[in-house]
Structure 1
């Protein structure tokens, strides 16, 4: 059995056995969909004519997938370093690519399950989401989103040494980003300066691309711009992650 296979299997078993992780990964984002879907049911965004659900479903899906990618690997790296598991892996023939690659494979599967579950619930008659014709674009868009935010999680997991610090840093980044990038409320209703600020946040690009693919908001250029933005952030996060990764607390 290869190191990659062993690490992936171990990560999968840890994921499915932790009920708290399962709840916050799959059920928690759905709560936002249910709350916003019921509150704004039947209402439309004046500027575009699209329903609020079309905005919030795409935005909350993007935030949920990104959040899971960040927290999943950040907590894992912190815990493995704290328990000296990373040090033992470093002493073995297993390369760093096997460590990160195993978590990446799990993050992709988690993102796929999240998306299927989320879109399935949003399409129930009580919410009535009708996916746009470009919905297959969700596959590459979300895969690129998982890649970008997983690399951000590697950076957080390399700096943070306790569960509390991981949660504090990750929430400090992800929660404001969700509100300022249009995950919970349409950017069209925000001041112009906030829309400008959102351009320096990777979640804005994921939101825009998913919004077009899932709800038909904007045009196909939104997907291209969104993917280009995510790719740029992925390159930056990847470079920083390579420089900051720590096998132990001291190195």
Structure 2
């Protein structure tokens, strides 16, 4: 078995073995979709002609996928470093790209499963999401979003030395970003200065791109801009990840 296959299998077994992780990866974000969907069932955002579900479904999906990508790699790197697994891996011919690539593949699979699950629930008659013909274009935005948040997670996991530190840092990033980027309420309802601030956040562009593709709220230019912004965030955090990565707590 190759190093990539072995690491991918280890990541998979660790993910499915921990029932708490499975719950917070899939059921917890889906709970937000169900709750908000029921609260605003059949309602439209004033002046837009669009239902709340058109905002909530792409937003919660983006937040759930980004959350899983960031937390997943951050906890894995912290735990493997504390257990000296990274130091042992470093003593083998396995390069860092294989270590991160195995986790990246797992994050993509999780993101795709989340997307299918979230969209499937949102399409139920009780919620009423209607897909636009451009919905396949959500896939490249999803891929770029996973990549961007995974890069952020590498930075968090490389600096935090305890589970508590990972949770504190990651939540400090993802919770404010969820509210400021329009995941839980339409960003059009926010003050202008908050809307401008949200343009500095990767989740804003993931929301915009996936929403434009799934619901037709934007055109190809919106999807292209969102994809380019996510690629830019990936580059920035990728450079930071390379500079901050540690094989052990003593390095």
TM over 0.5: yes
SS at match of 1:200: coil
Query: Which range is displaced more, 103-112 or 42-51?
Result: 42-51
Matches within 5 A, 1:140-219: 140-219=140-219
Q: Say if 2:113 is the partner of 1:100.
A: no
Q: CA deviation at 1:45?
A: 1.1
The residue number in structure 2 matching 1:3 is: 3
Give the Cα–Cα distance (whole angstroms) in 2 for the partners of residues 127 and 199 of structure 1. Answer: 29
Give the Cα–Cα distance (whole angstroms) in 1 for the partners of residues 47 and 240 of structure 2. Answer: 39
The residue number in structure 2 matching 1:118 is: 118
Runs of 4+ in 1 over 6 A off after TM superposition: none
TM-score (norm: length of structure 1):
0.99
| Contact 1:134/1:216, CA 8 A, preserved across alignment | yes
The residue number in structure 2 matching 1:129 is: 129
The residue number in structure 1 matching 2:223 is: 223
SS at match of 2:194: helix
- Deviation per residue, 1:191-244 (Å, 9 max, x gap): 000000001000000000011011111222110110011011000000000000
Give the Cα–Cα distance (whole angstroms) in 2 for the partners of residues 47 and 160 of structure 1. Answer: 45
| Contact 1:47/1:188, CA 8 A, preserved across alignment | no
* Structure 1: stretches of 5+ with no match in the other structure: none
The residue number in structure 2 matching 1:48 is: 48
Give the Cα–Cα distance (whole angstroms) in 1 for the partners of residues 47 and 210 of structure 2. Answer: 19
Q: Say if 2:58 is the partner of 1:58.
A: yes
Give the Cα–Cα distance (whole angstroms) in 2 for the partners of residues 181 and 47 of structure 1. Answer: 20
Give the Cα–Cα distance (whole angstroms) in 1 for the partners of residues 52 and 125 of structure 2. Answer: 15
Q: CA deviation at 1:47?
A: 3.2
Q: Say if 2:42 is the partner of 1:26.
A: no
The residue number in structure 2 matching 1:236 is: 236
- Deviation per residue, 1:30-72 (Å, 9 max, x gap): 1000110000111111232110110000100000000000000
Give the Cα–Cα distance (whole angstroms) in 2 for the partners of residues 104 and 35 of structure 1. Answer: 30
* Structure 2: stretches of 5+ with no match in the other structure: none
The residue number in structure 1 matching 2:68 is: 68
Q: CA deviation at 1:250?
A: 1.9
Give the Cα–Cα distance (whole angstroms) in 1 for the partners of residues 177 and 128 of structure 2. Answer: 27
Give the Cα–Cα distance (whole angstroms) in 2 for the partners of residues 187 and 217 of structure 1. Answer: 13
SS at match of 2:184: coil
Give the Cα–Cα distance (whole angstroms) in 1 for the partners of residues 47 and 163 of structure 2. Answer: 42
TM-score (norm: length of structure 2):
0.99
